[in-house]
Structure 1
């Protein structure tokens, strides 16, 4: 895993383009998968920070993970940690985006957008 992080395929990632709808900012040691579940955008996060084969099986908590959506989308973010309790997060507007700063991620988490009615 460490070798893969050191060889970040910058050109390949840039060629994929960036969706302006939902953006994830996290350490390269956080894996993020985005999917639609019942029509709602979900992000599934896995934390690999600090893992060492045959020595360290518990990841180091990661902080500062941010999810952003266009500011015109009035929504909250649901946050569910691995084996934890669901929380509702409110974002802060910054320019044309609403930014949600996630609580520390230990092993993993799922987040999803809930549009306000």
Structure 2
């Protein structure tokens, strides 16, 4: 049996933050999901990949650090770099450098000690 979609009186969109390779220009690309439907995690991942694939040459998705500081600048008006909160064990961040999602569980204490982190 196919998964049943529940319809709501909503419109959902996703903004993907990106930057130029040299870090001079930043922006967001908006992806609009179909009206009245909550997207699944797979649909969000597919939409993210589509946006990432459509970025012009010379641009890439922001790193976690870049995105956090963009949000903090919008909230505070300050251009200083902020200390970034750690991920919770259950959280995953998309890593644009490897085009994979990484979790803090991907590293154990021995690996971190070897890297000097």
Bigger-Rg structure (1/2) = 2
Structure with more of its chain in helix, by fraction: 2
Bigger fraction of residues in strand:
1
TM-score, structure 2 normalization: 0.25
TM-score (norm 1): 0.25
